[in-house]
Amino acid sequence: MKILVTCPPMLGMIDTFVPYAAEYGHELVPAKVTQTLSEDELVERLPHYDGWIIGDDPATRRVFEAGKAGRLKAAVKWGIGVDNVDFSACKDLDIPIINTPNMFGGEVADVAVGYVIGLARQLFFIDREIRTAHQWPKPPGMSLAGKRVGLIGFGDIGRSVAKRLLAFDMKIVAYDPGLQGDAGLTGVERADWPQRVDEADFLVFTCSLNVHNRHMLNADVLARTQPGVQVVNVARGPLIDEAALIAALLSGHVAAAGLDVFEMEPLPADSPLRAMPQCIFGSHNGSNTRDAVQRASYEALDKLFGFLEGLT
Protein backbone atom coordinates (compact mmCIF):
# COMPACT_ATOMS: atom_id res chain seq x y z
CA MET A 1 0.00 0.00 0.00
CA LYS A 2 1.07 3.60 -0.61
CA ILE A 3 1.59 5.85 2.40
CA LEU A 4 1.90 9.63 2.20
CA VAL A 5 4.33 11.20 4.68
CA THR A 6 3.93 14.93 5.38
CA CYS A 7 5.79 15.23 8.70
CA PRO A 8 8.96 17.36 8.20
CA PRO A 9 11.18 15.70 10.86
CA MET A 10 10.37 12.25 9.49
CA LEU A 11 10.89 13.50 5.94
CA GLY A 12 14.36 14.65 6.93
CA MET A 13 15.28 11.01 7.61
CA ILE A 14 12.94 9.34 5.14
CA ASP A 15 15.66 7.14 3.62
CA THR A 16 15.91 5.41 7.01
CA PHE A 17 12.25 4.39 6.97
CA VAL A 18 11.64 3.48 3.31
CA PRO A 19 13.33 0.04 3.60
CA TYR A 20 11.48 -0.66 6.87
CA ALA A 21 8.14 0.01 5.19
CA ALA A 22 9.14 -2.09 2.20
CA GLU A 23 9.70 -5.07 4.49
CA TYR A 24 5.97 -4.91 5.28
CA GLY A 25 5.04 -4.47 1.63
CA HIS A 26 4.30 -0.75 1.85
CA GLU A 27 5.65 2.22 -0.12
CA LEU A 28 6.44 5.48 1.67
CA VAL A 29 5.94 8.56 -0.51
CA PRO A 30 7.56 11.74 0.87
CA ALA A 31 5.73 15.00 0.29
CA LYS A 32 7.68 18.06 -0.80
CA VAL A 33 6.90 20.35 2.11
CA THR A 34 8.72 22.77 4.43
CA GLN A 35 6.14 22.99 7.22
CA THR A 36 2.67 21.92 6.04
CA LEU A 37 0.68 21.21 2.91
CA SER A 38 -2.41 23.33 2.35
CA GLU A 39 -5.91 21.94 2.66
CA ASP A 40 -6.36 22.18 -1.12
CA GLU A 41 -3.09 20.32 -1.74
CA LEU A 42 -4.15 17.55 0.62
CA VAL A 43 -7.61 17.26 -0.94
CA GLU A 44 -5.93 16.77 -4.30
CA ARG A 45 -3.27 14.28 -3.21
CA LEU A 46 -4.64 12.23 -0.32
CA PRO A 47 -7.22 10.18 -2.29
CA HIS A 48 -4.31 8.45 -4.06
CA TYR A 49 -2.90 6.96 -0.83
CA ASP A 50 -3.93 4.14 1.48
CA GLY A 51 -2.28 5.61 4.57
CA TRP A 52 -1.15 8.99 5.83
CA ILE A 53 1.44 9.98 8.43
CA ILE A 54 0.39 13.48 9.40
CA GLY A 55 2.58 16.36 10.49
CA ASP A 56 1.06 19.71 11.44
CA ASP A 57 -1.01 19.82 8.26
CA PRO A 58 -4.68 20.92 8.28
CA ALA A 59 -6.16 17.44 8.70
CA THR A 60 -9.74 18.69 8.43
CA ARG A 61 -13.05 16.96 7.76
CA ARG A 62 -12.87 18.14 4.15
CA VAL A 63 -9.44 16.54 3.76
CA PHE A 64 -10.51 13.24 5.32
CA GLU A 65 -13.70 13.16 3.24
CA ALA A 66 -11.61 13.54 0.09
CA GLY A 67 -9.26 10.79 1.25
CA LYS A 68 -12.12 8.47 2.14
CA ALA A 69 -13.66 9.01 -1.29
CA GLY A 70 -10.42 7.66 -2.69
CA ARG A 71 -8.09 5.04 -1.22
CA LEU A 72 -7.43 6.35 2.29
CA LYS A 73 -7.90 3.64 4.90
CA ALA A 74 -6.03 4.84 8.01
CA ALA A 75 -3.82 7.62 9.38
CA VAL A 76 -1.41 8.36 12.22
CA LYS A 77 -0.61 11.81 13.60
CA TRP A 78 3.17 11.89 14.09
CA GLY A 79 4.03 13.32 17.48
CA ILE A 80 2.10 14.61 20.45
CA GLY A 81 -0.04 17.56 19.38
CA VAL A 82 -3.36 16.77 17.76
CA ASP A 83 -4.96 20.22 17.56
CA ASN A 84 -4.71 20.19 13.76
CA VAL A 85 -6.53 16.87 13.35
CA ASP A 86 -10.32 16.40 13.19
CA PHE A 87 -10.62 13.13 15.09
CA SER A 88 -14.41 13.34 15.12
CA ALA A 89 -14.42 13.38 11.32
CA CYS A 90 -12.27 10.25 11.30
CA LYS A 91 -14.73 8.55 13.65
CA ASP A 92 -17.67 9.52 11.46
CA LEU A 93 -15.87 8.33 8.33
CA ASP A 94 -14.61 5.13 9.99
CA ILE A 95 -10.96 6.03 9.42
CA PRO A 96 -8.72 4.54 12.17
CA ILE A 97 -6.36 7.17 13.56
CA ILE A 98 -4.08 7.68 16.54
CA ASN A 99 -1.10 9.81 17.55
CA THR A 100 2.29 8.94 19.10
CA PRO A 101 2.31 10.43 22.62
CA ASN A 102 5.15 10.42 25.14
CA MET A 103 7.80 10.14 22.46
CA PHE A 104 10.04 13.14 23.11
CA GLY A 105 9.27 14.86 26.38
CA GLY A 106 12.96 14.99 27.19
CA GLU A 107 14.00 16.41 23.84
CA VAL A 108 11.45 19.25 23.92
CA ALA A 109 12.29 19.92 27.56
CA ASP A 110 15.97 20.27 26.63
CA VAL A 111 15.04 23.00 24.14
CA ALA A 112 12.82 24.77 26.69
CA VAL A 113 15.65 24.82 29.23
CA GLY A 114 18.03 26.01 26.52
CA TYR A 115 15.74 28.98 25.91
CA VAL A 116 15.52 29.75 29.64
CA ILE A 117 19.31 29.75 29.99
CA GLY A 118 19.81 31.63 26.73
CA LEU A 119 17.38 34.36 27.76
CA ALA A 120 18.64 34.63 31.33
CA ARG A 121 22.24 35.11 30.25
CA GLN A 122 21.51 36.81 26.88
CA LEU A 123 23.72 34.23 25.18
CA PHE A 124 22.13 34.53 21.77
CA PHE A 125 22.21 38.32 21.84
CA ILE A 126 25.92 38.22 22.69
CA ASP A 127 26.55 35.71 19.90
CA ARG A 128 24.76 37.88 17.31
CA GLU A 129 26.56 41.03 18.40
CA ILE A 130 29.94 39.34 18.06
CA ARG A 131 29.13 37.78 14.71
CA THR A 132 27.23 40.52 12.92
CA ALA A 133 28.17 43.78 14.66
CA HIS A 134 31.77 42.85 15.53
CA GLN A 135 31.11 43.98 19.10
CA TRP A 136 32.27 42.54 22.42
CA PRO A 137 29.19 43.00 24.67
CA LYS A 138 29.04 42.11 28.35
CA PRO A 139 25.39 42.54 29.41
CA PRO A 140 24.53 41.60 33.01
CA GLY A 141 22.61 38.35 33.13
CA MET A 142 20.11 36.81 35.52
CA SER A 143 20.99 34.08 38.00
CA LEU A 144 18.56 31.16 37.77
CA ALA A 145 18.75 29.91 41.36
CA GLY A 146 15.75 31.07 43.35
CA LYS A 147 13.82 32.35 40.33
CA ARG A 148 10.21 31.24 39.88
CA VAL A 149 8.87 29.54 36.75
CA GLY A 150 5.21 29.41 35.84
CA LEU A 151 5.07 26.06 34.00
CA ILE A 152 1.96 25.77 31.85
CA GLY A 153 1.42 22.08 31.16
CA PHE A 154 2.52 19.28 33.47
CA GLY A 155 2.39 16.29 31.18
CA ASP A 156 5.38 14.42 29.78
CA ILE A 157 7.15 17.55 28.52
CA GLY A 158 6.21 19.71 31.48
CA ARG A 159 7.43 17.19 34.05
CA SER A 160 10.68 16.82 32.12
CA VAL A 161 11.14 20.60 32.14
CA ALA A 162 10.43 20.73 35.88
CA LYS A 163 13.06 18.07 36.63
CA ARG A 164 15.68 20.02 34.73
CA LEU A 165 14.85 23.44 36.17
CA LEU A 166 14.67 22.12 39.72
CA ALA A 167 18.28 21.05 39.26
CA PHE A 168 19.07 24.77 38.83
CA ASP A 169 17.38 25.48 42.18
CA MET A 170 14.50 27.23 40.48
CA LYS A 171 10.99 27.30 41.94
CA ILE A 172 8.14 25.79 39.91
CA VAL A 173 4.44 26.65 39.90
CA ALA A 174 2.73 24.17 37.57
CA TYR A 175 -0.59 24.69 35.80
CA ASP A 176 -2.53 21.77 34.33
CA PRO A 177 -6.28 21.22 34.90
CA GLY A 178 -6.04 17.65 33.65
CA LEU A 179 -3.42 16.45 36.13
CA GLN A 180 -3.19 16.53 39.90
CA GLY A 181 -0.24 16.47 42.29
CA ASP A 182 3.45 17.24 41.94
CA ALA A 183 4.52 14.01 40.17
CA GLY A 184 6.79 13.29 43.11
CA LEU A 185 8.95 16.33 42.38
CA THR A 186 9.89 18.20 45.53
CA GLY A 187 9.73 21.92 44.88
CA VAL A 188 6.74 21.91 42.52
CA GLU A 189 3.68 23.86 43.63
CA ARG A 190 0.31 23.83 41.87
CA ALA A 191 -2.04 26.65 40.95
CA ASP A 192 -4.99 27.36 38.67
CA TRP A 193 -4.27 29.55 35.66
CA PRO A 194 -3.65 32.48 35.83
CA GLN A 195 -3.21 32.62 39.60
CA ARG A 196 0.26 33.64 40.81
CA VAL A 197 1.50 34.76 37.37
CA ASP A 198 2.58 37.96 39.10
CA GLU A 199 5.24 35.90 40.91
CA ALA A 200 6.80 34.38 37.81
CA ASP A 201 10.19 35.35 36.43
CA PHE A 202 9.58 32.99 33.52
CA LEU A 203 6.43 31.61 31.92
CA VAL A 204 7.16 28.34 30.10
CA PHE A 205 4.46 26.81 27.88
CA THR A 206 4.52 23.04 27.31
CA CYS A 207 0.80 22.20 27.15
CA SER A 208 -1.32 20.97 24.26
CA LEU A 209 -3.60 23.38 22.38
CA ASN A 210 -7.37 23.01 22.61
CA VAL A 211 -10.51 25.12 22.24
CA HIS A 212 -10.31 26.20 25.88
CA ASN A 213 -6.75 27.56 26.07
CA ARG A 214 -6.25 29.43 22.79
CA HIS A 215 -4.72 32.84 23.64
CA MET A 216 -4.51 31.87 27.30
CA LEU A 217 -1.62 34.33 27.51
CA ASN A 218 -3.32 37.54 26.41
CA ALA A 219 -3.17 41.24 27.19
CA ASP A 220 -5.16 40.87 30.41
CA VAL A 221 -2.91 38.11 31.77
CA LEU A 222 0.26 39.88 30.64
CA ALA A 223 -0.87 42.96 32.58
CA ARG A 224 -0.90 40.83 35.74
CA THR A 225 2.70 39.66 35.29
CA GLN A 226 5.64 41.42 36.87
CA PRO A 227 7.75 43.80 34.76
CA GLY A 228 10.67 41.97 33.21
CA VAL A 229 8.97 38.58 32.95
CA GLN A 230 10.35 36.33 30.20
CA VAL A 231 8.24 33.97 28.09
CA VAL A 232 9.17 30.60 26.57
CA ASN A 233 6.86 28.61 24.28
CA VAL A 234 7.81 25.15 23.02
CA ALA A 235 4.19 23.97 22.70
CA ARG A 236 1.82 25.63 20.20
CA GLY A 237 1.86 29.20 18.91
CA PRO A 238 -1.84 30.04 19.39
CA LEU A 239 -1.55 29.50 23.15
CA ILE A 240 -0.20 33.07 23.12
CA ASP A 241 -1.93 36.12 21.69
CA GLU A 242 1.04 37.12 19.57
CA ALA A 243 -0.12 40.71 19.06
CA ALA A 244 -0.42 41.15 22.84
CA LEU A 245 3.02 39.62 23.38
CA ILE A 246 4.56 41.91 20.76
CA ALA A 247 3.01 44.95 22.45
CA ALA A 248 4.38 43.83 25.83
CA LEU A 249 7.83 43.27 24.34
CA LEU A 250 7.81 46.69 22.69
CA SER A 251 6.82 48.36 25.96
CA GLY A 252 9.50 46.46 27.85
CA HIS A 253 7.02 44.88 30.26
CA VAL A 254 8.07 41.49 28.86
CA ALA A 255 11.85 41.54 28.79
CA ALA A 256 12.33 38.79 26.21
CA ALA A 257 10.85 35.65 24.71
CA GLY A 258 12.11 32.30 23.47
CA LEU A 259 9.62 31.02 20.89
CA ASP A 260 9.93 27.73 19.06
CA VAL A 261 6.36 28.07 17.78
CA PHE A 262 4.21 30.89 16.39
CA GLU A 263 0.63 31.65 15.50
CA MET A 264 1.60 31.53 11.83
CA GLU A 265 4.41 29.24 10.66
CA PRO A 266 6.85 29.87 9.12
CA LEU A 267 7.10 33.23 10.92
CA PRO A 268 6.04 35.94 8.40
CA ALA A 269 8.83 38.05 7.02
CA ASP A 270 7.11 41.22 8.21
CA SER A 271 6.56 40.06 11.80
CA PRO A 272 7.70 42.70 14.31
CA LEU A 273 9.26 39.88 16.31
CA ARG A 274 12.07 39.65 13.77
CA ALA A 275 13.33 43.09 14.81
CA MET A 276 13.64 42.15 18.51
CA PRO A 277 17.22 41.09 19.28
CA GLN A 278 16.34 40.26 22.88
CA CYS A 279 14.28 37.30 21.66
CA ILE A 280 15.25 33.78 20.57
CA PHE A 281 13.37 32.01 17.80
CA GLY A 282 13.09 28.42 16.67
CA SER A 283 11.43 26.70 13.71
CA HIS A 284 8.98 24.43 15.58
CA ASN A 285 11.83 21.99 15.89
CA GLY A 286 11.90 21.10 19.57
CA SER A 287 11.41 17.37 19.13
CA ASN A 288 13.76 17.00 16.18
CA THR A 289 16.72 14.89 17.22
CA ARG A 290 17.78 11.84 15.26
CA ASP A 291 17.03 9.61 18.24
CA ALA A 292 13.56 11.05 18.83
CA VAL A 293 12.62 11.09 15.14
CA GLN A 294 13.56 7.44 14.77
CA ARG A 295 11.65 6.53 17.92
CA ALA A 296 8.47 8.40 16.94
CA SER A 297 8.60 7.43 13.26
CA TYR A 298 8.92 3.71 13.90
CA GLU A 299 6.08 4.01 16.39
CA ALA A 300 3.93 5.83 13.82
CA LEU A 301 4.74 3.27 11.13
CA ASP A 302 4.00 0.31 13.38
CA LYS A 303 0.65 1.79 14.39
CA LEU A 304 -0.27 2.55 10.78
CA PHE A 305 0.79 -0.91 9.59
CA GLY A 306 -1.37 -2.40 12.31
CA PHE A 307 -4.37 -0.44 11.10
CA LEU A 308 -3.77 -1.38 7.47
CA GLU A 309 -3.23 -5.06 8.21
CA GLY A 310 -6.41 -5.13 10.26
CA LEU A 311 -8.36 -3.80 7.30
CA THR A 312 -7.07 -6.25 4.72
Task: Give the amino acid at 233.
Answer: N
CA separation for the pair 223, 209 (Å, rounded)? 22
Which residues partner with 2 through β-bridges? 27
Cβ neighbours of residue 263 closer than 8 Å, sequence gap 6 or more = 237, 238, 240, 242
CA separation for the pair 225, 220 (Å, rounded)? 9
- SS3 category, 271: coil
Distance from the first to the final alpha carbon of the chain: 11
Q: For the residues of 181-218, what is the DSSP string, one character each? A: S-TT-TTEEE--TTTTGGG-SEEEE-PPP-TTTTT-B-
- Polymer length in residues for the chain: 312
Which residues partner with 5 through β-bridges? 30, 53
> Which positions are annotated as active-site residues?
236, 265, 284
Cβ neighbours of residue 276 closer than 8 Å, sequence gap 6 or more = 249, 256, 257
CA separation for the pair 163, 289 (Å, rounded)? 20
Number of C-beta neighbours around residue 268 at 10 A:
12
Residue 146 phi/psi, 5° resolution? 90, -10
- The DSSP symbol for 240 reads B
